[in-house]
Amino acid sequence: MSRVVRDPVLAYIGLGANLGDAVATIQRSIAAIGALPQVDLLRRSSLYRSAPVESSGPDYVNAVVCVSTTRDAYALLDGLRELERAAFRERAYRNAPRTLDLDVLLFGDGHIESPTLTVPHPRMAQRAFVLMPLAEIAPKRVDAAQLRTVTDQECERLG
């Protein structure tokens, strides 16, 4: 059963995939996130292609979505993990290539430190594939200095 918060919270979710038809997986996953109970999809970024960071395998396809939710952060994470399982996500080792990766980047203005969830996402400020799509849909959440720190990372907007 989903845990519910009283007022809707804006949450930002990062999506990534580099196995199979990554573009189709990301597009389906965006729709699936919006179909989760107590979750309304508000905005979605363009798709971005990025080289693996601290990983191997093919290039990733990435995006960020903004949702409004009355779920708490852990219930939102539970829903995202179910979507990963449905996409046959395996966690063979840290940063392994994947069919789908879904991360809670921001949950309102909350700060969460637990064994299962850290918000804001601990490495988001170091990743062009997070900052560029996040800046596209929430420019006030990313400043120019943050973007300058990731200019050496290969990340391009698709289409």
Catalytic residues: 89, 98, 101, 103
For 92, other C-beta atoms within 10 Å of its C-beta total 7
CA distance 80 to 3: 14
Q: State whether residue 20 is helix, strand or coil.
A: coil
Q: What is the DSSP string of 77-111?
A: HHHHHHHHHHTT---SSTT---S-EEEEEEETT--
